[in-house]
Structure 1
Amino acid sequence: MSDAVSERMVELEIRMAHQEALCQDLNDVVIRQQQEIDRLQLQVEGLRLRLVELMERQSPGAQLPEPPPPHY
């Protein structure tokens, strides 16, 4: 192989290695974000259940207030 072709091959291999590292880094970020989303969803659900329980204690027969329409 000529030197020019050899240099291009090395450059492409270096670029590919950087791309693979970048993809792995991005994948790690996505995994951490999904774990955080899962944790926050559990936390919100726990708070929702607690709110329902507290509201039932204050007025056992009353229902939760109707949420405002989406355009609010």
Structure 2
Amino acid sequence: MSAPESAERRLIELEERMAHLEAGMDALTDTLLLRERELRDAWRVIEHLKGQLADLRETAVLAPEQEPPPPHY
């Protein structure tokens, strides 16, 4: 094999490797973006549930002095 053919073959191999690396990076980027969206959605749900829990605490729990006496008194 002559030097120009060898250099051309090496160049083609490098281009193929580069294409595979770019495809891998694209797949990783897509996965990362999907996980970021899922995480953002989960945080929204958590914040919503925290608000609901705070509302329930305000209405469900009375201070001991505000509790009505038990029925046997």
- TM-score of the alignment, normalized to the shorter chain, above 0.5: yes
User: Kindly tell me: are residues 49 and 61 of structure 1, through their superposed partners in 2, closer, same or farther at Cα, counting changes over 3 Å?
Assistant: farther
Q: What 5-or-longer segments of structure 1 have no aligned partner?
A: 63-72
- Of structures 1 and 2, the one scoring higher in RCO (CA 8 A, sep 6+) is 1
> What count of residue pairs does the alignment treat as equivalent?
62
| 1:46 counterpart = 2:48 | yes
Question: Which has the greater radius of gyration?
Answer: 2
Runs of 4+ in 1 over 4 A off after TM superposition: none
Taking only the aligned residue pairs, the percentage that are identical comes to 29
Query: For 2:36 and 2:20, how far apart are their aligned partners in 1?
Result: 24
Shift of 1:59: 2.4
Structure with greater helix percent: 2
Structure 1-normalised TM-score? 0.78
